[in-house]
Structure 1
Amino acid sequence: MADVPLTAADFPPPSVEEWRRLVDKDLKGKPFTVLQSPLEGGLSLQPLYTPQDAPAPSEPPGVAPYVRGTQPLGHTEGGWLLCQEYAGPDVAATADALRDDLERGTQGVWLLLDAPHGLDVKDEATLARLLQHVPLERTPVHLEPTADVLRPASLLLEVLAKKAGAAKQALRGSLGIDPIAALARHGAAKVDVARTLTEAAPLITSLLKDAPGLRALLVSSRPWADAGATSVHELAWSIATGVEYLRELERAGVSPGEAARSMQFALSVGGQFFPEIAKLRAARLLWSKVVAASGGAPESQAMALHARTASATKTRRDPWVNILRGTAESFAAVVAGADSVSTAPFDEPLGTPDEQSRRLARNTQLILRDESSLNRVADPAGGSYYLEQLTGEFARAAWTELQRIEALGGISRAIAQGDMARVLTETRTARDKAVRTRKLPIVGVSEFPHLHEAPVQREARPAAPARAEGAITPPQPVRVAEAFESLRDASDRYHAAHGVRPRAFMANLGTVAEHTARSTWISNVLAVGGIEPHEHHGFADANAAAELFAKAGTTLAVISGPDALYPEAVPAYVAALKAKGARTVAVAGRPGDHEAAFRAAGVDLFLYAGADLFQLLKTLHTHLGVA
């Protein structure tokens, strides 16, 4: 029989219904929802996306509503702008860093101003010294003040006028006038949003005519994102801020189209790769819809979007992992079509970054552009059923939240009423629970900790000033790793005081093959709390284990082994270990039906996946005398 070549027609594609029937069969009675992955903000990821979920996009890149980017050819003509952020107390050192980085690939400058961690720019001369090595005629400069949002804008304009000459049309950047971000940080007693925008209105009109590349207004999500907002809330609150700016400026005589062309958005990109891509695409969609509804022409609907890698996802422990986090977050920002991207140095949580960490951050984007060629495809996310559907879901969820904020009277009133504080508290509580139970794992901190890592030393930043009495409680920056890092900090203090770390005697039952999987897991868990595990593989009997325990120099013992050995071994081992001075005996694994018997025998606690490991480890610290 002659060979007959097979073609695609010989394998007709199965329908979604056929796939679903096979999946339901394999689930053996479990609900289909077990295959869905929940996201913060009420969204969830499906196990399969099809053309029925999200048809191919009808608009090309560069066309309203700009889901696919604001440029027809995307980043293919020169790439995105590599725009690094700078902060710190030393203006001279930052000026030198600007010079070095611009010579080595940085293209734009983003300056964080004011206390506690920003640059202290009091006058024109200070700003001129800061920018002395920056070729202002070809380098976009962006300001992000946290206190007085008008004065830095005037200072930058004065410096630009003197250094860049009369070529105003070529100037690029943003002046950072963002009174709602300042309101969130400082309260109504110090910030009058309407008055600030009224005072800024003549400047906005002037810049649109003389220097259209300089955007006067900024909408920064930093106060929300750093305080732990979900992606949906960050997106919705940013759009709500833009809405209020359009509304107030129209009252001051600036049309919505003009105000929109004067606005720069800056959003954070967190650790969930595909959802963060969808979030940035949804931001452009929503802003286009808002400006269109306000009467703005299509060209006014294009969002100028800056993306920064998130601060909340970074860790002080094993900070080198931050390089991987920053790479993934930068990758997501580029794929989503951000106009400019800032990659934070890996040591940012530790203090002022050094030259090496700035170089690694800068080169992350250079590699993505020049070696991974991410600038060679316009809208690489376009047409993905998954991302198109997720973009729509983010947009709908954020629009619902935007309507809720508008019903409260707008974002300024929502802040004044404490609504943002309430939502952030709820979000942080839920996220903290996921972190404590390791449903949200943190590599290097709550998973695979490096107990004996060499610390990375950096110059500490100044402490935040005390809040003024009567002010709105501002959203406090928080990193997801802080709870577990506090346990490691306590372990370090114990080590400094005693010369050794708090330790646990590992009483492993059965053969090495029988207990290795569980004992390895327990050793990892103990190291998360800065407790050094001392493993012993098998014993002749409970008395032999107790004799070794007496020489271990600790009061904590952990019994670990196969479940089948526990009913007989646990009571005997607990009695023997406590007779030799064990104050605390823990058992690895869920006790199940044996919990009452084990507790009666003297077991103090159980360590198992899904438990609140932070609280369990904190309890062990207390038993071991770790402050």
Structure 2
Amino acid sequence: MPQEPLHIATDFPSASLEEWRRLVDKDLKGKPFASLQSTLEGGLSLQPLYTQQDATASPPPEPPGVAPYRRGTHPLGLTEGGWMVCQEYTGPDVALTAEAIRVDLERGTQGVWLCLGRAHGIHAAQADAVERLLAHVPLDRTPVHLEPEADVLSPAAFFLQAAQRARVPHEALRGCLGIDPLGALARRGSLPRGIEATLTEAAPLVMSLRKLAPSLRALLVSTRAYADAGATSVHELAWAIATGVEYLRGLERAGVPPEEAARSVQFALSAGGQFFPEIAKLRAARLLWSKAVAASGGSPEAQAMRLHARTASTTKTQRDPWVNILRATAESFAAVVAGADSVSTSPFDEALGIPDEGARRLARNTQLILRDESSLNRVADPGGGSYYLEQLTREMARAAWTELRRIEALGGMTRALLQGEIGRVLAETRSARDKAVRTRRLPIVGVSEFPHLGEAPVHRPPRPPAPPPGPGKAGPEIPPLRPTRVAEAFESLRDASDRYLGTQGVRPRAFMASLGTVAEHTTRSTWIANVLASGGIETREHHGFPSADAAATLFAETGTPLAVISGPDALYPEWVPALCAALKANGARVVAVAGRPGEHEAAFRAAGVDLFLYAGADLFALLSSLHQQLGAA
């Protein structure tokens, strides 16, 4: 019997936005509608609903392949072969890194990104070292990207020398030579040649490559220093465009027209943990760069941004590092949906030391699965047409443009760095983000949320200490931007717990006095056990006490100085004062109560309660004070 087709769109009456608002206001029961909005870093707000009205408020975006390239620089998007799987390498040893490159190229990696430097990269400071590093790389068909940490000009010469010795013609070379003086200044805090002198010296190379090797870009705009130091998406985006503008101006003063200079720049941005905002950031980057190049007189072809995206380092954890696989997958997914030309997925163990082959394999295969099994390369613009994403892209672009104009008013990106303005903004951003982490408004799975105290540790060889920098010419100097990870605060508590375990044979422990029935206290007791575990404190739960004295007697048998009272609020006025007094009489140095005390705080503190653990409190500070009391600090 044939089935009747369903006409869902016509069978149900359409609902208007006004009707939706009336239902929402009813469900809010007096709360303001603004309570449904979410605030992002950088001052952006997310609405609970986006409609076609939001999309029609602005002109529709151009199709893919058309300036200003919000939807990508290729008319068919990534469907003509997909994005480039480009692995990053930071291991210090040249021979081991060369072998890792060989293995990865044989097993699916298409491009190579070499981070060179004493502190955070490969120790390849001489021409022969760069040649050995590239020994297994077919330079005629493999894009190679350099990202020097300090000396930004010599590696370019070393690479071209290696290509010449391998008899690879210049026109076959692809990638980027990584000349990024502002990026080096931000990371290392010094630049011996200076910004202007570096760009002047690079100008002849830029013009030469435009003729002899048009697929090999000379300049790099990398936001690694800013993203690793805690920049918001808006700041990272704005500072990237400001840096690109600075390079266009410097090269123009050295005789390179903006048209040629723009075609010589490669951008590299990070993809962080906020999925949709990161997509919007990368899409907005293309839009803003197109506008900036157009203002400089560049043609539509010169306005097309070459964009590399890397998974963020700030989001990765040392504790429960396996969760990093999920983080890197989501970040890679965001980069691909945003239309990045190449993507680097970081190994899950990068925060622990030098990644091993298994971690590199997982990172490589993450992208291969996204491409070959999830078929993300079969859609020209996966994010195009989404009311929410299009609106968020526009708002991200406007906010970044405002920040770009502020940097320009200060005199440009160079002056903003030298005057300490970038460092000041990053300090404010880190402070706000740290507050969100400490209160668990920014949860970290495996660290501040759902920690596993019994996890098997993952060990990796640490990076050797960086050798002291050699003498160089005088140049600009600033305090280098310090890389940071959002999990560092809570991980420091876990480290202290491990040290305590090593010396005492047990972890810091807490006696949990859970009041009422299991059904009454299980939600709060589970929450508080999770909080204590995030600080490396083990819990032993007890419940069903006939009296406060019975609970205190059981506590005395545990030998721990910390007791936590947990249960329904209704039982607290009756139980907390008597139970706290009994616990203190039986040796408790610290008594904590789970939940907000409300109007009973004064009475509870008078009875001997030392602190209260509740959602929204500075849990890191409270856990740190418990460490002090337990002798685990």
Aligned to 1:321: 323
1:257 to 246, 252, 259: 259
Quote the Cα distance in structure 2 between the aligned partners of 1:375 and 1:8.
30
1:77-103 residue CA offsets vs partner (Å, 9 max, x unmatched): 111000000012211111110000000
SS in structure 1 of the partner of residue 620 of structure 2 = helix
Aligned to 2:275: 273
Give the AA of the match of 1:503.
Answer: R
SS in structure 1 of the partner of residue 132 of structure 2 = helix
Q: Is the 8 A contact 1:57 1:382 kept in 2?
A: no
Deviation at 1:124, TM superposition (A): 1.4
Quote the Cα distance in structure 2 between the aligned partners of 1:622 and 1:36.
39
Quote the Cα distance in structure 1 between the aligned partners of 2:250 and 2:330.
38
Deviation at 1:58, TM superposition (A): 4.2
Aligned to 1:90: 93
Describe how 1:147-162 pairs up with structure 2 within 5 A.
Answer: 147-162=150-165
Aligned to 1:37: 38
Give the AA of the match of 1:139.
Answer: T
Aligned to 1:479: 485
Quote the Cα distance in structure 1 between the aligned partners of 2:388 and 2:6.
33
Q: Does the alignment pair 1:523 with 2:524?
A: no
1:344-363 residue CA offsets vs partner (Å, 9 max, x unmatched): 00000000000000000000
SS in structure 2 of the partner of residue 315 of structure 1 = coil
Quote the Cα distance in structure 2 between the aligned partners of 1:8 and 1:538.
56
Quote the Cα distance in structure 2 between the aligned partners of 1:42 and 1:4.
47
RMSD: 1.6
- Could you say if the C-alpha distance between residues 198 and 7 of structure 1 is closer, same or farther in structure 2, counting changes exceeding 3 Å? closer
1:487-525 residue CA offsets vs partner (Å, 9 max, x unmatched): 000000000011100000011111111111111111101
Aligned to 2:303: 301
Deviation at 1:190, TM superposition (A): 2.8
Give the AA of the match of 2:198.
Answer: T
Aligned to 1:587: 593
Q: Does the alignment pair 1:559 with 2:565?
A: yes
Deviation at 1:390, TM superposition (A): 0.4
Deviation at 1:139, TM superposition (A): 0.5
Aligned to 2:248: 246
Q: Is the 8 A contact 1:508 1:535 kept in 2?
A: yes
Quote the Cα distance in structure 1 between the aligned partners of 2:301 and 2:93.
41
Larger mean CA deviation between 128-137 and 199-208 belongs to 128-137
Give the AA of the match of 2:38.
Answer: S
Give the AA of the match of 1:226.
Answer: D
Give the AA of the match of 2:113.
Answer: W
Equivalent pairs counted in the alignment come to 624
1:6-38 residue CA offsets vs partner (Å, 9 max, x unmatched): 664453422222222222222222111111111
Q: What TM-score results when the alignment is normalised by the length of structure 2?
A: 0.96
Aligned to 2:376: 374
1:577-606 residue CA offsets vs partner (Å, 9 max, x unmatched): 111110000001100000000000000000
Give the AA of the match of 1:38.
Answer: T
Deviation at 1:164, TM superposition (A): 4.2
Aligned to 2:236: 234
Deviation at 1:621, TM superposition (A): 0.3
Q: Is the 8 A contact 2:242 2:407 kept in 1?
A: yes
Q: Give 5+ residue unaligned stretches, structure 1.
A: none
Quote the Cα distance in structure 2 between the aligned partners of 1:270 and 1:138.
30
Q: Is the 8 A contact 2:181 2:191 kept in 1?
A: no
1:607 to 595, 613, 620: 613
Q: Is the 8 A contact 1:175 1:216 kept in 2?
A: yes
Quote the Cα distance in structure 2 between the aligned partners of 1:309 and 1:516.
38
Q: Is the 8 A contact 2:514 2:566 kept in 1?
A: yes
Q: Give 5+ residue unaligned stretches, structure 2.
A: none
- Could you say if the C-alpha distance between residues 577 and 498 of structure 1 is closer, same or farther in structure 2, counting changes exceeding 3 Å? same
Q: Does the alignment pair 1:570 with 2:576?
A: yes
- Could you say if the C-alpha distance between residues 239 and 569 of structure 1 is closer, same or farther in structure 2, counting changes exceeding 3 Å? same
Quote the Cα distance in structure 2 between the aligned partners of 1:422 and 1:464.
26
SS in structure 1 of the partner of residue 377 of structure 2 = helix
1:127 to 109, 130, 134: 130
Q: Does the alignment pair 1:80 with 2:86?
A: no
Describe how 1:323-472 pairs up with structure 2 within 5 A.
Answer: 323-463=325-465, 471-472=477-478
2:216 to 206, 214, 235: 214
- Could you say if the C-alpha distance between residues 369 and 42 of structure 1 is closer, same or farther in structure 2, counting changes exceeding 3 Å? same
SS in structure 1 of the partner of residue 101 of structure 2 = helix
SS in structure 1 of the partner of residue 536 of structure 2 = coil
Quote the Cα distance in structure 2 between the aligned partners of 1:257 and 1:278.
26
Q: Is the 8 A contact 1:188 1:416 kept in 2?
A: no
Q: Does the alignment pair 1:502 with 2:504?
A: no
Q: Does the alignment pair 1:143 with 2:146?
A: yes
1:443-484 residue CA offsets vs partner (Å, 9 max, x unmatched): 000000011100000001134578999941121000000000
Quote the Cα distance in structure 1 between the aligned partners of 2:629 and 2:201.
60
Q: Is the 8 A contact 1:117 1:462 kept in 2?
A: no
Quote the Cα distance in structure 2 between the aligned partners of 1:96 and 1:254.
39
Give the AA of the match of 2:548.
Answer: A
Aligned to 1:493: 499
1:385-426 residue CA offsets vs partner (Å, 9 max, x unmatched): 011000000000000000000000000001111000110000
Quote the Cα distance in structure 1 between the aligned partners of 2:161 and 2:517.
76
1:544 to 550, 573, 579: 550
Quote the Cα distance in structure 1 between the aligned partners of 2:361 and 2:397.
36
Larger mean CA deviation between 406-415 and 43-52 belongs to 43-52
1:247-295 residue CA offsets vs partner (Å, 9 max, x unmatched): 1111111011100100000000000111100000000000000000100
Quote the Cα distance in structure 2 between the aligned partners of 1:296 and 1:449.
52
Describe how 1:165-184 pairs up with structure 2 within 5 A.
Answer: 165-166=168-169, 168-184=170-186
- Could you say if the C-alpha distance between residues 90 and 466 of structure 1 is closer, same or farther in structure 2, counting changes exceeding 3 Å? closer
Q: Is the 8 A contact 1:136 1:164 kept in 2?
A: no
Quote the Cα distance in structure 1 between the aligned partners of 2:276 and 2:5.
42
Quote the Cα distance in structure 1 between the aligned partners of 2:76 and 2:164.
33
Quote the Cα distance in structure 2 between the aligned partners of 1:322 and 1:58.
34
Deviation at 1:307, TM superposition (A): 0.1
Give the AA of the match of 1:67.
Answer: R
1:290-343 residue CA offsets vs partner (Å, 9 max, x unmatched): 000100000000000000000000000000000000000000000000000000
Q: Is the 8 A contact 1:92 1:130 kept in 2?
A: yes
SS in structure 1 of the partner of residue 302 of structure 2 = helix
Q: Does the alignment pair 1:21 with 2:22?
A: yes
Q: Is the 8 A contact 1:257 1:295 kept in 2?
A: yes
Quote the Cα distance in structure 2 between the aligned partners of 1:617 and 1:465.
37
Give the AA of the match of 1:352.
Answer: I
Quote the Cα distance in structure 1 between the aligned partners of 2:243 and 2:193.
15
- Could you say if the C-alpha distance between residues 211 and 6 of structure 1 is closer, same or farther in structure 2, counting changes exceeding 3 Å? closer
Larger mean CA deviation between 504-513 and 16-25 belongs to 16-25
Quote the Cα distance in structure 2 between the aligned partners of 1:424 and 1:465.
27
Deviation at 1:191, TM superposition (A): 4.6
Aligned to 1:310: 312
Q: What TM-score results when the alignment is normalised by the length of structure 1?
A: 0.97
Deviation at 1:486, TM superposition (A): 0.3
Identity rate, percent: 75
Could you list the structure 1 runs, at least 4 aligned residues long, displaced by more than 4 angstroms after superposition. Answer: 3-7, 464-470
Give the AA of the match of 1:266.
Answer: A
- Could you say if the C-alpha distance between residues 191 and 614 of structure 1 is closer, same or farther in structure 2, counting changes exceeding 3 Å? farther
Quote the Cα distance in structure 2 between the aligned partners of 1:500 and 1:188.
47
